[in-house]
Amino acid sequence: MQSPSDPDSEVKVALTWPEQILPEQPVTFGIRITDKSDTPVSAAAYELVLVDKDGNQVTRSGGVTTPEGISSQDVTFASPESFNLRVEKR
């Protein structure tokens, strides 16, 4: 993620998820946001955006803030299709 007005504000985002993802069951995604020097970014606001294989938005989380650069969020997949998950700066 990078702010268009401030190229030095680049951050790294690491996602974790369980090995098995089943439809209609919540999946917990772990999110870790750090700066360029790997220091956790506190109070980083983000949204998780789930898009289907055709690029259509399926869900968008509300704005979430990481207290210490680390957060988690549950996502439920409606079907066993391929999806992409994006983390967007808020």
Place of tokens 């994006």: 86
DSSP secondary structure letters along 63-81: PEEESSSEEEEEEE-SSSS
Q: Reply yes or no on domain 7-89 having CATH 1.10.3720.10.
A: no
Taking the model in full, what pTM does it have? 0.79
The full set of domain ranges for the chain reads 7-89
Residue 3 has pLDDT above 60, yes or no: no
pLDDT interval class at 2 (50, 70, 90):
very low
Stretch 5-27: mean pLDDT, rounded? 84
Picking from 37, 30, 29, 31, the residue whose alpha carbon sits closest to that of residue 11 is: 37
Quote the pLDDT of residue 8. 59
CA dihedral 75, 32, 17, 48 (to 10 degrees): 30
pLDDT in tens, 29-46: 999 999 999 999 988 889
H-helix or E-strand spanning residue 18: none
Structure tokens at 81: 């299709």
Place of tokens 């506190």: 42
Residue 50 has pLDDT above 80, yes or no: yes
